[in-house]
Amino acid sequence: MLPPDLISLFVLVVRPRCSSSLFVAPLNRLGVVYMVTRSVTSGTYSHVRFTNDIDLVAMLSDTEATRLHTAFDTPEFYVPPLEVIETERRRPTHGHFNLIHLETGLKADFFFAGNDSLSQRSLELRRRVVDQRGETVWFAPPEYVILRKLEYLRDSGSAKHVADIQAMLQVRGDLLDRQFLLGEIEALGLRDVWRQFGA
Amino acid sequence: MVDPMIAPRQHHLDAEKVYIETARRLSAAQQLATLHALQQSAWALKTSLLRSEHPDLSEQEVRKLVRDSFLYAAS
């Protein structure tokens, strides 16, 4: 373990950027409707988790896609060509591309809501959180994070998702919108995988 | 790095290559600084969420809850 003074020195010399605002600040400036989901949100909603990626779900018009590409098309970031973003945006489901911050190695997984009704509804229910620079970070509602993790659990069986869901249920408890959660569990055919949580 | 539910496309492979090259290039100091930034960010987001959901809590109570949640922090 390095002494705190040495860490402070490193931090002063390297001057790290706030990890969340790196990717969301340009989106906020462009007025893009987005929400952060997966590890960053499940960690904030339950037990903290450090992750070097941020997962975003967004709806973009064709004009916004061009503006987004321009915003990230700088020496600071890796962004795929605009044609890739356009192609992914037009997919009805699973539209996705990556952004990488070249100074820190942090990356964003950028998903398009497409015609997925759960993503569209959750974007309407997104929650505003603020980072250490006062930058707004829009979070997916916790129910969305749980529902997506249930899908991943059903498809992969990974124990990591079991632990994450259990932690969110334990910490969130009565704060969850049970009607929303249970309704979508039925709609998405997740009743069997949900049963193991006995919630 | 790609969602397991998505079949990898060429641009995913291109991004993966850039990601690996970037990670290899980072010095220990840069990695440490990034880790520090991630920790700061997680702390701030947790604090903000608790404040908005529990406006009745004092700053001291919020700080304690955030500290407690960091005890279970994982990567």
CB of A144 closer than 8 Å to CB of A130: no
CB of B18 closer than 8 Å to CB of A100: yes
Domain shared by A40 and A113, yes or no? yes
Q: What percent of chain A has pLDDT over 70?
A: 90
* Amino acid (1-letter code) at residue B71: L
A11 belongs to a structural domain? no
* Partner residue opposite A102 with nearest CB, options B22, B46, B74: B22
Residue A42: give the domain boundaries. 16-140
A44 belongs to a structural domain? yes
Structural domains counted in chain A: 2
Domain shared by A199 and A118, yes or no? no
The CATH number given to whatever domain includes residue A42 is: 3.30.460
What does pTM read for this prediction? 0.89
SS3 A51: coil
Domain shared by A136 and A151, yes or no? no
Handedness of CA A169, A113, B45, A4 (dihedral sign): positive
* Partner residue opposite B36 with nearest CB, options A11, A40, A103: A11
Domain shared by A114 and A175, yes or no? no
Position B35 scores a pLDDT of: 87
Range with the poorest average pLDDT among A20-24, A49-53, A185-189, B44-48: A49-53
CB of A80 closer than 8 Å to CB of B12: no
Handedness of CA A130, A150, A51, B25 (dihedral sign): negative
Q: List CB contacts (< 8 A) between A135 and chain B.
A: none
A30 belongs to a structural domain? yes
The residue ranges of DSSP E strands in A65-172, in sequence order, are 77-78, 96-101, 107-112, 127-130, 136-139
A1 belongs to a structural domain? no
Domain shared by A119 and A149, yes or no? no
Q: What is the pLDDT of residues A11-65, one digit of tens each?
A: 444 445 566 789 999 999 999 999 999 989 998 999 887 788 899 999 999 899 9
Domain shared by A124 and A156, yes or no? no
Domain shared by A106 and A40, yes or no? yes
